[in-house]
């Protein structure tokens, strides 16, 4: 039977000379440690405390790992070892002193749930904070995407949109509010995101994506999130992402259906497709009416936009399997998802290996047929 002590008892013993050892991982300790505890991996305790007569209290998050560590120490000949029942979680709940790492307390508190994930941790969160993401469109897709990217701690969000808030937007564009009708969407977005996370810098760019503006929008960001509602802007973004070597997270919605994909041909020519590989020619206008003409279920852009934000975070953190080379179809009525593989087009006029950048064409005319 492994001896256990309550956090209060562990604190008393610590003050009386016992050593309190925190065996949690670095990303767990980043959110706070029991005051005075020594951070040490379970396998390294014997090297850290060589006196086998010294009293040791082992603490983890809930008490499971500390019990295992205490058992090994007892088997190794340590005479006075106990595990803290309930771990750091109970220590905190009992109001005992917690020490957070030196530095930015807001950072460790705000992102504590990210910091507990070994796939993110402090290093990954700092990477998100240093990242720059372009969100094109502060509408149905850009609203949920930007909202969650700001919450996740993206350092700089550049939001480009030339429209103003309309009452009909409020059914799905959650960045905006009734009192802001008539105001530029990028200003409304910046106000909402600043209230959510003041650490995030929002660059509000009130302009359309054009051949003259697209390079400045794309060149210095890490990822482009396509929330555009028109084909000329989407084709321009694709071409600019290929030219500048940026991944583009594409999303689109129509009535009760949505789709999304990651196009990363700019960094992986010949291996991953671009948007032109999927849609060499735009569909005729009657086959792709916009939301004002065909309507859209209000929650659908939220579903697709959140999936886009998820792809952005995966790309920035270098985790998981990005939706590159795959088109995800979302059927909101049936709640079904299906995938279509997208191979790179070896003859693509934009991203074919070895092909020089052809320059931006008049996509307004191109999409008009």
Global pTM reads 0.82
CATH number, domain with residue 265? 3.40.50.720
Q: Can you read off the two tokens belonging to residue 253? A: 């919605």
Give the per-residue pLDDT at 236: 95
Q: Which of 69, 102, 135 is the last residue of a domain?
A: 102
Q: Backbone phi, then psi, for 178, in 5-degree steps? A: -55, -40
Rounded CA separation 36/19 (Å): 9
Give the per-residue pLDDT at 283: 67
Give the per-residue pLDDT at 295: 86
Residue 115 lies inside a defined structural domain of this protein: no
Give the per-residue pLDDT at 325: 95
**Count: domains in the chain:** 2
145 plus 198 within the same structural domain: yes
Residue 286 lies inside a defined structural domain of this protein: yes
Residue 69 lies inside a defined structural domain of this protein: yes
Closest CA to 51 of 80, 88, 22, 75: 80
Residues 6+ apart with CB under 8 A from 114: 120, 121, 124, 125, 128, 152, 153
261 plus 354 within the same structural domain: yes
Q: Which of 102, 135, 159 is the last residue of a domain?
A: 102
159 plus 268 within the same structural domain: yes
220 plus 360 within the same structural domain: yes
User: CB–CB of 353/347 below 8 Å?
Assistant: no
* Strands of 56-59's sheet in order across: 4-5, 81-84, 56-59, 19-22, 38-39
Residue 251 lies inside a defined structural domain of this protein: yes
176 plus 50 within the same structural domain: no
Give the per-residue pLDDT at 245: 97
Give the per-residue pLDDT at 369: 58
The mean pLDDT values, 10 residues at a time, for the chain of 369 residues are 94 96 88 92 93 96 96 95 96 94 81 90 95 97 98 98 96 96 97 97 96 96 95 94 97 96 95 94 62 82 98 98 97 97 95 91 76
Q: Backbone phi, then psi, for 321, in 5-degree steps? A: -120, 105
**Domain range for 78:** 4-102
Buried b (16+ CB within 10 A) or exposed e, 265-285: bbeebeebbbbbbbeeebeee
Helix residue ranges per DSSP H, 197-330: 214-218, 231-244, 275-278, 291-294, 299-317
25 plus 140 within the same structural domain: no
136 plus 197 within the same structural domain: yes
277 plus 132 within the same structural domain: yes
Give the per-residue pLDDT at 101: 73
């Amino acid at each position: 039977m492994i001896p256990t002590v309550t956090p209060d008892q562990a604190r008393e013993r610590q003050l009386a000379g016992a050593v309190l050892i925190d065996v949690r991982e670095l990303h767990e300790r980043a959110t706070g440690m029991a005051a005075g505890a020594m951070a040490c991996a379970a396998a390294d305790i014997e090297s850290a405390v060589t006196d086998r007569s010294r009293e040791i209290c082992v603490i983890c998050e809930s008490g499971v790992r500390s019990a295992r560590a205490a058992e090994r120490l007892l088997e190794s000949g340590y005479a006075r070892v106990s595990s803290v029942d309930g771990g750091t979680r109970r220590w905190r709940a009992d109001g005992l002193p917690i020490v957070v790492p030196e530095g930015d307390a807001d950072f460790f508190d705000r992102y504590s749930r990210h910091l507990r994930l070994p796939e993110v941790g402090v290093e990954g969160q700092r990477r998100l904070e240093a990242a720059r993401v372009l969100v094109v469109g502060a509408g149905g897709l850009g609203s949920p995407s930007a909202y969650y990217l700001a919450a996740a701690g993206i350092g700089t969000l550049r939001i480009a949109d030339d429209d103003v808030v309309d009452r009909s937007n409020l059914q799905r564009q959650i960045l905006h509010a009734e009192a802001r009708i008539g105001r530029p969407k990028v200003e409304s977005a910046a106000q909402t995101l600043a209230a959510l996370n003041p650490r995030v810098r929002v660059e509000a760019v009130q302009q359309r994506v054009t051949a003259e503006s697209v390079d400045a929008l794309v060149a210095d960001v890490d990822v482009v999130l396509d929330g555009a509602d028109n084909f000329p802007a989407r084709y321009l973004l694709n071409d600019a992402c290929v030219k500048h070597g940026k991944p583009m997270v594409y999303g689109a919605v129509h009535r009760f259906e949505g789709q999304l994909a990651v196009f990363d041909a700019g960094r992986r020519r010949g291996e991953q497709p671009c948007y032109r590989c999927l849609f060499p020619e735009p569909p005729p206008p009657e086959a792709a009416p916009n939301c004002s003409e065909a309507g859209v279920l209000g929650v659908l852009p939220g579903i697709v936009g959140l999936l886009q934000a998820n792809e952005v975070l995966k790309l920035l953190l270098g985790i998981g399997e990005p939706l590159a080379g795959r088109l995800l179809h979302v059927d909101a009525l049936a709640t079904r998802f299906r995938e279509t593989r997208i191979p790179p087009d070896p003859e693509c006029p934009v991203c074919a290996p070895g092909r020089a950048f052809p320059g931006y064409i008049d996509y307004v005319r191109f999409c008009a047929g």
